Amino acid sequence: MPKKKVPSVTAVDLGHQDCAPPGLAARAGRLGVLVGRVCRSDNGALRALMVYGLRIGGAGLIFLAQIAIARWLTPAEYGVFANVWVIFLLIGGWVSLGLGGAMIRFVPEYLALGREDLLRGLRRAGRAVGLTAAIVLACAGIAVLTLGGNIVEPGYRMPLVLALAALPFYAMSDINDGLCRGHGWPLRGIAPIYVLRPLLMIAGVVIAALALGLEPTATNAMAVVAIAFSLTVLVQTVITESGTHGLVPAGPSRYELKTWLAVSMPLVLMEGMLALMNHVDVLLVGSLRGAEEVGLYYAATRVVALVSFVPYAVIAVFGPRFSHGNAMNDHDGLRETARQAVTLSLLPSLVLGIAIVATGPLLLAAFGKEFTAAYNVLLILLVAVTMRAAVAPAQTMLAMTGHHVICVVILAGALALNTGLNLILIPLAGTVGAATATTIAIAVEIGLSLVAVRSRLGFVPMPYGDVRHLVAALRGILTRRAVTVPGPKGPLAG
């Protein structure tokens, strides 16, 4: 049956036709269509390779952006900025109510089952509910900060206000990313975030410091980052809309908000707790040791983040495949996919980890000569992120196959342990104590996750031990085309 022609809908069309410059709208639409053709290509090999490379390359750009900010600020001001940025990331992970994750879970299922009505409803309700929640939370937070007197230290107030003002853009970014990844187009969602945003941050620092001569304060740095983040999300929205309009013919929408929230809330709890696991040490170092020490500690976490982007890249490619395999009840395929994901997550992480051990002092010195004091912290944290690389795909598979509640329970226990150990070890050993506490807690989390995967799915995905198997697995992924799901909706990346 031929597809129905539907009106083109871009981000500019969504209620802003009369105020958007026609030339800008046309150029943005053409950009979205061009990127969309690449991201929606039936060549799953090209997409998988580009996503994997983009995540790793994006980690390098984000690293350079953090160096630019640290070089502009003093260590103490960078510590204030780091604390506020971490708070922004933690709150931002909750504001969309997990509906971005729900899209990753449900969009492949609805495509496979041909439920276009539910697909339309999920897309509309997800954006409306997530954006509304973010706006309400941002307004409430800004009101508390402006009317609450000395509720926070003066140096933190304006950076926090700027961070809260950017929360609605965070929610929209999460929804866009979930929608794209659910359709099997992860490149469309992550390219602006991992390429455009750090480039805008670097350009913003250069303009603020050299062209405008602004003071090197955390407030000015947060303003630069908030503007870069907001502009990036606007571009991401245009790109997302230009590719998804017309994919599903116009028609009635069915809303099952209760079902979606029943899945999204455990997912957002899991993501929120994982974010706390990743950042509670930074917050507690800032609270217990001061801004300058947290600046040094945060720089070490940014270096090891170069490794942590490897499993994130793998998850971006394999997350929809886990959901699709579960929807098709393909247990054997799920097992093999999980093994490929773990292999492609762990082995490159080990290689990067070894490289960072060798070059760690130089990487820290890029932030400033004072930051080389964090090398011992870097080595300890490197153990933690490498361990997580071995199990992160299995944790995602557990969540994408309906076992998200057990993931929340495990993360809650690990988070409680992490917080308790940090409270004990930071006063005793400073930043080294914080890194040690985090590594111990992550080791416990990994052990419990593997037990849960074994008990719920009947297997534990182990990496290939032979390089030939790794090469064969990678070749199989990169030469395999998209899997066509039932119905006329198009391909789901395989």
Q: With bands split at pLDDT 50, 70 and 90, how would you rate the model's confidence at 257?
A: confident
For residue 44, what are its two tokens? 């799953």
pLDDT tens per residue, range 96-105 = 888 887 888 7
Is there a domain that residue 17 lies in? Answer: no
Longest dimension (CA), the chain: 70
Enclosing domain of residue 35: 31-481
Number of domain units in the chain: 1
- What's the pLDDT at 471? 64
Does residue 270 surpass a pLDDT of 80? no
% of the chain at pLDDT higher than 70: 81
Mean pLDDT of 220-234: 95
- What's the pLDDT at 329? 75
Q: Please enumerate in sequence order all residues whose Cβ is within 8 A of that of 393, keeping only pairs 6 or more positions apart, or say none.
A: 311, 314, 315, 318, 338, 341, 342, 345, 461
Q: Please enumerate in sequence order all residues whose Cβ is within 8 A of that of 433, keeping only pairs 6 or more positions apart, or say none.
A: 422, 424, 425, 426, 427
Q: Which of 76-85, 161-170, 204-213, 266-275 has the lowest mean pLDDT?
A: 266-275
Is there a domain that residue 72 lies in? Answer: yes
- What's the pLDDT at 464? 65
Does residue 24 surpass a pLDDT of 70? no
Does residue 254 surpass a pLDDT of 60? yes
More confident residue, 263 or 285: 285
CA 85 to chain CA centroid, nearest Å: 14
% of the chain at pLDDT higher than 90: 35
Q: With bands split at pLDDT 50, 70 and 90, how would you rate the model's confidence at 382?
A: very high
Is there a domain that residue 276 lies in? Answer: yes
Residue 486's Cβ-count burial label (10 Å; 0-12, 13-18, 19+) is: exposed
DSSP state, 477?
Answer: H
Is there a domain that residue 102 lies in? Answer: yes
Q: How many residues does the chain have?
A: 494
Does residue 21 surpass a pLDDT of 50? no
More confident residue, 201 or 14: 201
Does residue 152 surpass a pLDDT of 90? no
- What's the pLDDT at 33? 47
The β-bridge relationship of strands 483-484 and 491-492 is antiparallel
For residue 459, what are its two tokens? 């297997």
pLDDT tens per residue, range 121-139 = 888 888 888 889 999 999 9
- What's the pLDDT at 26? 47
Is there a domain that residue 23 lies in? Answer: no
For residues 356 and 363, what is the distance between their CA atoms, to the nearest angstrom?
A: 8
Angle ∠(185,187,188) on CA atoms, nearest 5: 75
Is there a domain that residue 474 lies in? Answer: yes
More confident residue, 95 or 473: 95
Of these ranges, 171-175, 228-232, 340-344, 476-480, the one predicted with the greatest mean pLDDT is: 228-232
Is there a domain that residue 1 lies in? Answer: no
- What's the pLDDT at 16? 32
Is there a domain that residue 52 lies in? Answer: yes
